Amino acid sequence: MNRPVRIALTKGRLEKDTVDLLEKIGFDCTAVREKGRRLILPVPDGNLEAVLAKANDVITYVEHGVCDMGVVGKDTIMEMKGKFFELVDLGFGRCKFALATKKGNDFYSGYGIKTIATKYPNVARSFFEKKGMDTEIIKIEGSVELAPLLGLADGIVDIVETGTTLRENGLEVIENVADISARLIVNTVSLKMRQAEIERLVKLIESNIN
């Protein structure tokens, strides 16, 4: 019961943004900044413990309750789903999911089944399901932009920040799928069993964003 509240951070940019936020609140994040290769780090004056993990794993750890809270992108949440509370839109890590095709391509024309390449098969499937469109989804691990260029897919569903990669490869966004930003998620039991501690932290975070 007395272990510190554990917060799982998505390694990389979201981790940096979250550490900035925690420092703005006034927590001492020296250990996290000078982490070396350690993966569990104390944030002393907040009775917090930061755990560094890949985005998908942040959700897994929070779902199982071995981490009480997590910071993860809406993109991962949409793809992974899962049971947790999604309490706060942290406002950073903004980008969007978009549908893109080769420039000048009329994606919706004809009655043939479209092939979509994506790193986010669940997001792509549910987007087209809502339109009542049968599509073939192909999971790609690396640069999704390649698939339409090589003729494997008619379009891609992917994260777009500035759109530079798309432009430089002759692709264009034809439709927005969803807006994305970092979210604070909380385990459903932790929020109840450690309500006072977690609510205090959530209030501090809420009053220090945007």
Partner 1 sequence: MKNYDLITPEGTRDLLFEECIIRRGVENVLTGIFSGRGYTEMITSGLEFYDVFSLNSRYFPQENLYKLTDTKGRLIVIRPDSTMPIARVIATRLRDAVLPLRLYYRQNVYRTGPLLKGRSDEIMQAGIELVGSDSEMADLEVISTAVESLKSLDMEFSIELGHIGIFKELVSRLDVSRREREKIRRLIENKDFPALNDYLDTFGRTPVTDALKRLPALFGGEEVFDRAEELIPDDSLNIRRILSYMREIYSVASEFCGEGGNISVDLGIVNKTDYYTGIVFKGYLEGHGDEVVSGGRYDGLIAEFGYDVPAVGFAVNIDAISKVIEKNGILPALPRIDAIVFAREGFEADAFRKAQELREQGLVVETALSGDIDSVREYARERKIARIVIAGEEM
Q: Which residues bind partner 1 (CB under 8 A)?
A: 1, 60, 63-66, 83-89, 183, 186-193, 195
Whole-number minimum distance, CB 132 to partner 1, in Å? 14
DSSP state of 200: H
Q: Residue 82 CB, nearest distance to partner 1 (Å)?
A: 9
Q: Give the residue with the Cβ less far from partner 1, 133 or 152.
A: 133
Q: Which is nearer to partner 1, 17 or 154 (CB)?
A: 17
3-state helix, strand, coil in the chain (%, to 5): 35, 30, 35
Task: Name which of 5 and 29 has its Cβ closer to partner 1.
Answer: 5
Q: How many CA atoms within 13 Å lie on the side-chain side of 100?
A: 27
Q: Please, which residue, 15 or 63, has the CB nearer to partner 1?
A: 63
Cα separation of 43 and 23, whole Å? 10
Q: Please state, in angstroms and rounded to a whole number, the distance separating the CA atoms of residues 24 and 5.
A: 19
In whole angstroms, the minimum distance from the beta carbon of 194 to partner 1 comes to 9
Q: Encoding tokens for residue 135? A: 């599509």
CB of 60 to partner 1, least distance (A): 7
